[in-house]
A and B are shown apart, each in its own frame.
Chain A
Amino acid sequence: MSTDDVSTEAVSTDDGSWLPQVADPATARPPAAVRPRLRWPDERLPGRASPVPAWLRFFHSELRLVFGRPRNLALLGVLAIVPVLMGIVLRLNLGSAGGPGGPPFLNQLAGNGVFLALVVLFLTLTVLLLPLSVGVVSGDAIAGEAGHGTLRGLMTVPAGRTRLLAVKYAAIVVFCLAACLLVAVLSLIMGLILFHVGSVTLLSGTTVSFGAGVLRVLAVALFAAAAMASLGAIGLAASTLTQHAVGAIAGVLVLTVASEICDQLPELSAIRSYLPTHYWLSWDGLFRSPVDWSGVEHGLVSYAVYAVIFGAIAWAKLTSADITS
């Protein structure tokens, strides 16, 4: 049987589709040389042939860019050192630690290593390590491309301005998740190594199993990641406003510090709950039984509103901007 026979048979099954219609695979497969021409009109390029969606390929490339950058890896490295250092320092000072005014949950640390994760998350948020990392990655997102001149290359590919922004933000969210989970998981491991481990006594006095305690810690990490993702949207918007990544990064940090200061001023109590950082630490409800979701819920709504507003600013700016970098 010649190849001509194969193609004739394949054509004879033509009903507008080139999917195999015949049970015998040998006769169902159209000749390779014919297939693309029939599937795509001449003027269209053979795109979308790969089973991997194009946006996923772009997203993967963006993730490789974010997680392949030495600077970003250094930031994650610093974040990874904090649980180790804090674990060791707190273990050595176990007896003397725990006066009033220290981070919450510090007093419980002696009783259970799970709380190390909460202490470290609290510290990395308030000492600006997490906001700094997220600020660097998000502030660099568009401004960095503009600074390198690679933005015009992406635009003429064309990557699509809205599509580029969506992929950039998705990668920022992944970075936020990675950073917060890295801190939480490493803290849990250090807690396991350095401290007593067992069932967890909650703030409400009830006791849950170690596994349930770990789950609650991971929930805190996700809540922190959501806060960082919201900050990432602010950074992304700042990033579309300048060609200098450093400016955008500084802007995010200044905003964070200003918001945290305003949150402390009694004169501003009326607007406190509208500040972007107000709910960053309102996770203690997760350590009550039954769980008090109100703080988390308020926080998530606040984060979502900030993400939408600043996402819209970023979109409006980038889709209308002249790319002169």
Chain B
Amino acid sequence: MLANAVPANTGLANTGVGAGFALTSDALTKRFRNGQLAVDRIDLAVPSGSVYGFLGPNGSGKTTTIRMLLGLIQPTAGSHAMLGLAMPDRQAAALPLVGSLVEGPAFYPHLSGRANLARLDAADSTADRATAPARIDAALDRVGLLAAADKRYKAYSLGMKQRLGIATSLLRPRQLVILDEPTNGLDPQGTREVRALIREIATDGTTVFVSSHLLAEVEQVCTHVGVMRAGRLVYQGPLAQLRGQAGLLVRTPKPELAVTVLSELGLAGVRQAGQEVTAELGAMLPEVICERLVLAGVPVAGLETPRRSLEDEFVELTGEGFDVD
């Protein structure tokens, strides 16, 4: 089932496949008090063990969705479950297994990075005090902040702040890590570091749900993507699926004959435009097609297998650039 792209809003969350999903939602909706519909009936299905890129332009409802998922704000309608536990009823059981960074890092400016993590760990009623110092240092080490652990938070650079935010989600073993715009404001070097961290978290088998308005930043680490546009989930599925099927383009002085041959080969979407014939490549090898065309007497002036870029797909889905600030 997961091998295929799941069109948005098909109610996948209803199909009882909760075991294979770290995160599901069913028609999750948030309408703010001012009447603005921020999130409109989205059906998320985040497979366990995936790195799920939650993409969309700024203001498309990503952060509002994440706040709902974590129980910070109440949905107007719909339901969702994390790690198979219904939210918000079971949030006391679910949230300790979920690490999160919501809308940028936020800490006490006068405390050190270490003291800030200790504060959050102390607030966790299920965390073990005895192992706290070791766990805190391990989390700081993982994000490369151990050397700056005793510096005050307000003296941290933006990248360090962002990394400390990620460290909070690593204070204890998690089954799901939700990161909201973890690369926001980072330089290319910092972005690379965050990507490496996400990869590292995912190799432990932890599901990572990462939101971004910059496709290029998460494209390299994601296995699955969900695309938001104006509060709606307009696409959801494996990244490879979105990348789109390669096409076939044949340039020939005998386009009609080429159309016949390609149709006989069983290619879908065969279309003629002037001296160019296009079709979907499917599973067929281009060298085989070329051979058949030549054998059938089609003079092949040119043959290409154009692939649409991911960026093109996204722009088509979201209707606008990703970096609308």
Question: Do A and B interact with each other, yes or no?
Answer: yes
Residues in B with CB closer than 8 Å to A25 are none
Query: With A45-B172, A150-B106 as given contacts, are A157 and B123 in contact (CB-CB < 8 Å)?
Result: yes
Kindly state the separation between the CA atoms of A154 and B168 in the bound complex, as whole angstroms: 11
* A50 proximal to B (CB < 8 A): yes
A152 to B64, CA, bound (A): 13
- Per the 8 Å Cβ criterion, residues 48-93 of B in contact with A are 67, 70-74, 91-92
Asked whether, in the complex, the Cβ of B127 is within 8 Å of the Cβ of A47, the reply is yes
| Residues in B neighbouring A48, C-beta threshold 8 A | 126, 128
Specify the chain A residue showing the minimal Cβ separation from B171.
Answer: A157
Among B91, B108, B109, find the residue whose CB has the most chain A CB atoms closer than 10 A.
B108
A residues near B72, Cβ cutoff 8 Å: 152, 155-156, 322-324
CB-contact partner of A153 in B71, B120, B128, under 8 A: B120
Q: Which of B100, B123, B126, B129 has the most CB of A within 10 A?
A: B123
Check A49/B95 contact, CB under 8 A, given A148-B107, A149-B104, A153-B120. no
Q: Is the CB of A157 within 8 A of B120?
A: yes
Q: Are B168 and A158 in contact (CB under 8 A)?
A: no
Interchain CA distance A153-B105 in the complex, whole Å: 9
Interface size on B, residues (CB 8 A): 37
Q: Does B98 contact A (CB under 8 A)?
A: yes
In the complex, chain B residues whose CB is within 8 Å of the CB of A52: 129
C-alpha gap A154/B107 in the complex (Å): 10
A100 interface residue per 8 A CB criterion: no
In this complex, how many residues of chain A approach chain B with their Cβ under 8 Å: the count is: 34
State whether the Cβ of B150 lies closer than 8 Å to any Cβ in chain A: no
Q: Is B179 an interface residue (CB 8 A)?
A: no
Q: Quick one: closest B residue to A55, CB to CB? A: B125
Q: Which residue of A lies closest to B88 (CB)?
A: A158
Contact among A47, A70, A164, A323 for B73, CB-based, below 8 A: A323
Quick check: A45 and B126 within 8 Å, CB to CB?
A: yes
Determine how close the nearest CB of chain B comes to the CB of A242; give it in whole angstroms: 16
Interface residue? A160 (CB, 8 A): yes
Q: Which of A103-144 contact B (CB under 8 A)?
A: none
Measured between beta carbons, the chain B residues less than 8 angstroms from A54 are: 124-127, 129
Query: Is A50 in contact with B71, judged by CB distance below 8 angstroms?
Result: no
Whether the Cβ atoms of A322 and B123 lie closer than 8 Å is no
* Contact partners of B73 in chain A: CB under 8 A: 322-324
Instruction: Compute how far the CA of A152 lies from the CA of B70 in the bound complex, rounded to whole angstroms.
Output: 9
Contact flag A61-B74 (CB < 8 Å), given A45-B96, A149-B103, A153-B168:
no
Q: Is the CB of B67 within 8 A of A323?
A: yes
Q: Kindly state whether residue B3 has any CB partner on chain A within 8 Å.
A: no
* Cβ distance B193 to chain A, nearest Cβ, rounded Å: 21
Q: Is the CB of B122 within 8 A of A154?
A: no
* 5 pairs, A vs B, C-beta closer than 8 Å: A50-B128, A58-B122, A58-B125, A152-B72, A322-B74
What is the interface of chain A, defined by CB distance below 8 A to chain B? 45-50, 52, 54-55, 57-58, 60-61, 65, 68-70, 148-150, 152-160, 163-164, 322-324
Chain B contact residues, CB within 8 Å of chain A: 67, 70-74, 91-92, 95-98, 100, 102-104, 106-111, 118-120, 122-130, 168, 172-173
Additional A-B contacts beyond A157-B124, A158-B92, A164-B123 (17; CB < 8 A): A47-B127, A50-B130, A57-B129, A58-B122, A68-B111, A149-B103, A153-B106, A155-B70, A156-B70, A156-B95, A156-B100, A156-B102, A157-B123, A158-B71, A163-B125, A323-B67, A324-B72
